[in-house]
A and B are shown apart, each in its own frame.
Chain A
Amino acid sequence: MEIKDFRKISDYEWEIAQDFQSGMRVPVIIFADARMLQESMKDTSLQQAINATYLPGVVKNVCVMPDVHQGYGFPIGGVAATALSNGVISPGAIGYDINCGVRLMTSPIEYKQAEPFIEDLINRINSLCPSGVGKGGRLKLTKKEIEEVCTDGARWTLRNGFATSEDVAFIEDRGCIEGADPSMISPRAIQRGMPQLGSLGSGNHFIEIDIVDTIENKEAAAILGLYEGCLTLQIHTGSRGLGHQVCSDYVKDFQHVIKKYHFNLPDRELVCVPLDSREGKNYLSAMRCAANFAFANRQLLAFYIRRAFEETLSKIPESSNLRTVYDLAHNIGKIENHKINGKEQRVCVHRKGATRAYGPGHKDLPNKYKAIGQPVLIPGSMGTYSWVMLGTQQAAQKSFSSCSHGAGRVMSRSKARKRFRGEKVRERLFEEGIYIKARSMAGLSEEAPQVYKDIDRVIRCVVGANLARKVARLRPIAVIKG
């Protein structure tokens, strides 16, 4: 692809027309500046976005976020909505780590009060929150309990003393997507989930302590409970082996099922079935189980982190006051109402590495956030800033109320391992005032800050395209890498 293949809509929006390639059902809209657009052409991410336009029943356009990078079938940072009436659902366009997402928590504790205890705090969190390859959680649940988690999500954690009602109120969908049916997930998915609830996992998953570094919108920040110099905490993880198994099972089964529908798709990983088919409904029910498991997983980690704050910062007043700002999904399929060509339509929004970003006044927001819009959490790498943003009403028109989910990778893991040594990455970050806890030095080298795009440029594009507005910038001081 070349730059001439794109129609410039604005400095931050570009279009690949529907007639660019035979078989495309809708155009692709890319939210990026000219340089990021050029850089996106270095891997197959934009071709993957074009491939996504082949999904039957896809409406309006496929969207590509500024943090886009190559995935497996659907690009990471991609959004596609399909009509409920005649559209499809594609498990591969949601991903294996169903409801991988981020939680932000805030505390009234100022960094200068906590500074002497930060190392102890991150060590304590590290000991309470299992992380790394093959590490299970602290709870060992029965099959019946896992089924309850799948049905009730974070409500299960509330019932069992692992959450407050305030936590649950500030999770997307209040921590439970209705319509989950554990009979739609395989015994193997349940079995894989049984030892893993309350564990971080590996790869790019993390727990990070940050300081509120800059406030850009004082009024909104106060509503979110963010104050300059205070501590915050982010958790990035998903549905673990249970979610991976759900997606694997349905991608495999749909390879057989799809034959009866005669869909023409450019990639078998985009395999899909009609939303209103028995198979489509079964997958939706199964995907919701995994999504609920992930909400409960992040809540359990939050519970242990709260305990670590209480124990380690006991000398500081309000050490236990670690409040959930918001918890959101960035790999998910959601049934939502959106205006398509001026008409309200019910669609299934596939978000793969993209965050929901409802603007002010949306009926599904917690009352406290109705006036300001949904918090949008965009973490940077472990050595760079993260951003707290708010969804806009323009995002509803432009991106099916979706926004970036992170900085986005630019370098392969194998190249990163050759270029960076985990020990050096840790040393350098320590010199910059960031404690790093990592199970694997090789894993740490793959997550070096240099393998990600410049988060500030991603944010500039997000703001320039009016997908979200800035509230606060967070600076990392301690990170646990899975």
Chain B
Amino acid sequence: MCKKQLLSKILEVPHTADAAIDVFGRSLNEVFTNAALGMLSIMEINIQEEDLGCEILSLTENDHESLLVSFLSEILYIVEQKRCPSNIQIKISGSQLESTFHSFPVISFTKEIKAVTFNQLKIMHVNGQFQTRIVFDI
């Protein structure tokens, strides 16, 4: 996805102490993918161009919001383990998520995200588009 397309799907929202983004998508899968891309862009990750291979992530939660928090928390953990996910593909079926991505070695990142929060988290379907706000603890 080119940067211009991405910008229209992720908006940075002012937050006094932490970080927040509004994320949009034509489908749940797209919202989840864009949420991950938005979070990774906040972290400003510097990667090495060496494909470490394909990884698969499978998650089950009771609702989509919990699924989103779990998914993003997993991505955060993977980055802390010095691998940066790229080419993220997501398939959500009911309360299950399967994601495949290629990971690249992390050289450094500028901002540490402590956690993905449930603060006022609600995935909405408005005018044929999915959207949500996500607040991160910095």
A interface list, Cβ under 8 A from B: 43, 45, 69-73, 76, 92, 95-97, 133-134, 188, 192, 201-203, 241, 244, 247-248, 251-252, 255-256, 267-269, 271, 409-415, 440, 442-443
Contact with A along B99-137 (1 / 0, CB 8 A): 000000010111110111111110000000000000101
Contacts of A248 in B (CB 8 A): 73, 115-116
- Cα separation A188 to B115 with both chains bound (whole Å): 14
Contacts of B114 in A (CB 8 A): 96-97, 203, 244
Of the listed stretches B26-34, B50-58, B61-69, name the one at the interface; the rest are far from the partner chain.
Answer: B61-69
Closest to A243 in B: B114
Interface flag for B16 (CB, 8 Å): yes
Contacts of A134 in B (CB 8 A): 80, 82, 106, 108-109, 112
Partner of A442, one of B12, B63, B108, B110: B110
In contact, B14 and A415 (Cβ under 8 angstroms):
yes
**B62 CB to closest chain A CB, in angstroms?**
6
With contacts A71-B17, A76-B17, A133-B109 taken as known, whether A92 is within 8 angstroms of B118 at the C-beta atoms is yes
In contact, A95 and B137 (Cβ under 8 angstroms):
yes
Q: List 28 A-B contacts (CB under 8 A).
A: A45-B16, A69-B16, A70-B17, A70-B18, A72-B117, A133-B108, A133-B112, A134-B80, A134-B82, A134-B112, A203-B112, A203-B138, A241-B80, A248-B73, A248-B116, A251-B118, A252-B70, A255-B66, A255-B118, A256-B62, A256-B66, A268-B120, A268-B121, A269-B118, A412-B15, A413-B17, A413-B18, A413-B19
Q: Which of B82, B106, B114 has the most CB of A within 10 A?
A: B114
Contacts of A96 in B (CB 8 A): 114-115, 137
With contacts A72-B135, A97-B114, A133-B108 taken as known, whether A269 is within 8 angstroms of B119 at the C-beta atoms is yes
- Cα separation A256 to B95 with both chains bound (whole Å): 13
In contact, B108 and A268 (Cβ under 8 angstroms):
no
Contacts of A413 in B (CB 8 A): 15, 17-19, 138
- Cα separation A72 to B30 with both chains bound (whole Å): 25
Partner of A73, one of B17, B109, B111, B119: B119
How many residues on B have C-beta within 8 angstroms of the other chain's C-beta atoms?
A: 35
**B135 CB to closest chain A CB, in angstroms?**
5
Contacts of B120 in A (CB 8 A): 267-269
- Cα separation A41 to B137 with both chains bound (whole Å): 21
Q: 9 closest A-B pairs (Cβ-Cβ)?
A: A72-B119, A268-B118, A72-B117, A96-B115, A70-B16, A269-B119, A412-B14, A269-B118, A69-B16
In contact, B66 and A43 (Cβ under 8 angstroms):
no
Closest to B115 in A: A96
Q: Which of B19, B63, B109, B115 has the most CB of A within 10 A?
A: B115
Closest to B106 in A: A134
**A125 CB to closest chain B CB, in angstroms?**
21
In contact, B18 and A71 (Cβ under 8 angstroms):
yes
Closest to B63 in A: A255
- Cα separation A252 to B20 with both chains bound (whole Å): 19
**A67 CB to closest chain B CB, in angstroms?**
11
With contacts A72-B137, A255-B62 taken as known, whether A133 is within 8 angstroms of B17 at the C-beta atoms is no
For chain B residues 49-95, which have a beta carbon within 8 Å of chain A? 62-63, 65-66, 69-70, 73, 77, 80, 82
Contacts of B16 in A (CB 8 A): 43, 45, 69-70, 409-412
**B138 CB to closest chain A CB, in angstroms?**
6
- Cα separation A255 to B70 with both chains bound (whole Å): 12
For chain B residues 1-47, which have a beta carbon within 8 Å of chain A? 12, 14-19, 44
Contacts of B118 in A (CB 8 A): 73, 92, 251, 255, 267-269, 271
Contacts of A201 in B (CB 8 A): 112
**A52 CB to closest chain B CB, in angstroms?**
13
In contact, B14 and A414 (Cβ under 8 angstroms):
yes
With contacts A43-B16, A72-B135, A411-B16 taken as known, whether A244 is within 8 angstroms of B115 at the C-beta atoms is yes
**B101 CB to closest chain A CB, in angstroms?**
19
Closest to A76 in B: B17
Contacts of A440 in B (CB 8 A): 110
- Cα separation A203 to B106 with both chains bound (whole Å): 19
Contacts of A409 in B (CB 8 A): 16-17
In contact, B117 and A73 (Cβ under 8 angstroms):
yes
Closest to A95 in B: B137
- Cα separation A415 to B14 with both chains bound (whole Å): 8
**B96 CB to closest chain A CB, in angstroms?**
15
Contacts of A43 in B (CB 8 A): 16
